[in-house]
Every structure is written in structure tokens, then in C-alpha cells.
Chains A and B, each alone.
Chain A
């Protein structure tokens, strides 16, 4: 875990990987991909950091408590976005029928609640991947 070339290459590549993951999450309703694949890509960038620089430095970046909070926030955010339709007097997860402005087709801010729901699911998947990795690596004998 003390390879100079490996550390510098990961430090160079990681910002672009995270950018790609967030791009896939945010463009889930316009292009191939979506919350699940984008979340896995974002989570894998954090896993790669922990693999190369060590678990301790990974925990310094994002602690386990913050990771659990993000994970819970993703699930609660999905439920809250679904309740928008209920509060407007229609069914759960109703989008256009609940009076949400849809925007211009083909632009980033279109599709109403889909972008917000996708963001929550992406956060949930990314933090779940990192939590899974940490749980597997920290298992005591």
C-alpha cells in the first residue's frame, strides 16, 4: 500500500470518476444509466480511495456515522418525494398529476420529481456500497 505511482494515478483519476458518477445520476431520465449505476460508480470511487490510501484515511474523509446518516437520508428522501403526491390529494409517487412543473423535454430540469428521486436513490446506493466494503474489510478474526 505504499506504491507511489498507484497513489498518484488514483489521485489523478478519482475526481473524474466521481464526476462521471454524478453525471450518470443526474442524467438518469435523459440518457442510459440512472441512480443505481451512477451510485455504484460514485461508491466505487470512495472504495478505491480506501483501498489505495488505507482504511484509516478513508474514514477521515467520510466517517461511518456520516455514511449512515447519508444512507438513511436517501431512503427518507425517496419517501418524502413520494408523499408529495399524497399531500396534493393524488396517489403515492404521482408526478404530473400532482401539479409538479415538468419543464421542457430534453433539458436537464425536466421530468418533475424524477431528478430529485434519482438523487436520493443514488446517494443511498453509493453509501451502501461503501458501508458494505467497510464491513467486509473490518471484520475481526
Chain B
């Protein structure tokens, strides 16, 4: 891929990561927070892929989805709104 395109995609994805990380701390609903963390792990998997580390990308995607599933399982037990 063209190096400039890779740089632009990197900047876009890393900026998106910062936005998601700030959004997770502001969201009141626990279910939305878990889903946002899933989006975070998928985005950082794309960043690993751009940095030519497909091994880390596979691990990050699988572990992120697994942790999100476990979090949603816990949230279904304790309720969505926790002050």
C-alpha cells in the first residue's frame, strides 16, 4: 500500500481510538460501555494489521470479542444501570 495512505489510515484509526476511550468513560449505560470496548478492540486490531502484525491482530480481535461477551454476560446478571 502507498505509505501516505497507510499514514492517513493510522492517524484516522488512532484518533478514533482516543474518541472511543473518552466515550467509554462518559457513557452511563454499562451495556453501551461494553459494546464501545468491543469497537475499541476491533479498531486496534486494524491498527496492528496496518503495522504488519497479523499475529497480534488475530489475538486482539479474538480476545476483545471474548472479553466483550463475558462483560455482557455479567451485565445481564447485575443490571445495566450502576451508579
- Chain A residues in contact with chain B, CB under 8 A? 24, 32-34, 36-37, 40-41, 43-44, 47-48, 51, 129, 132-133, 136-137, 139
The interface-forming segment of B8-16, B21-29, B31-39, B68-76 is B68-76
Please tell me if the beta carbons of B62 and A44 are within 8 angstroms of each other in the complex: yes
Taking the closest CB of chain A, its distance from the CB of B46, in whole angstroms, is: 15
Please tell me if the beta carbons of B66 and A24 are within 8 angstroms of each other in the complex: no
Please tell me if the beta carbons of B65 and A33 are within 8 angstroms of each other in the complex: no
A and B contact pairs by CB, cutoff 8 A, 11 listed = A33-B55, A33-B58, A37-B58, A37-B63, A44-B65, A44-B66, A47-B66, A51-B69, A132-B70, A136-B73, A139-B77
Please tell me if the beta carbons of A43 and B58 are within 8 angstroms of each other in the complex: no
Q: Which of B54, B55, B66, B73 contacts A43 (CB 8 A)?
A: B66
Whole-angstrom CA separation of A19 from B14 in the bound complex: 33
For the residues of A in contact with B, the DSSP-based class is: helix
Whole-angstrom CA separation of A129 from B67 in the bound complex: 9
CB nearest neighbor in B for A138: B77
Residues of chain B lying within 8 A (CB to CB) of residue A137: 73, 77
| Number of B residues, CB within 8 Å of A | 14
Please tell me if the beta carbons of A47 and B63 are within 8 angstroms of each other in the complex: no
Please tell me if the beta carbons of B63 and A40 are within 8 angstroms of each other in the complex: yes
Taking the closest CB of chain A, its distance from the CB of B50, in whole angstroms, is: 14
Residues of chain B lying within 8 A (CB to CB) of residue A33: 55, 58-59
Please tell me if the beta carbons of A136 and B59 are within 8 angstroms of each other in the complex: no
Residues of chain A lying within 8 A (CB to CB) of residue B70: 132-133, 136
Taking the closest CB of chain A, its distance from the CB of B56, in whole angstroms, is: 9
Please tell me if the beta carbons of B55 and A34 are within 8 angstroms of each other in the complex: yes
Taking the closest CB of chain A, its distance from the CB of B27, in whole angstroms, is: 21
Whole-angstrom CA separation of A136 from B77 in the bound complex: 9
Whole-angstrom CA separation of A132 from B62 in the bound complex: 16
Whole-angstrom CA separation of A72 from B65 in the bound complex: 25
Taking the closest CB of chain B, its distance from the CB of A114, in whole angstroms, is: 15
Residues of chain B lying within 8 A (CB to CB) of residue A36: 59, 63
Interface centre among A32, A36, A47 (most CB of B within 10 A): A32
Residues of chain B lying within 8 A (CB to CB) of residue A41: 62
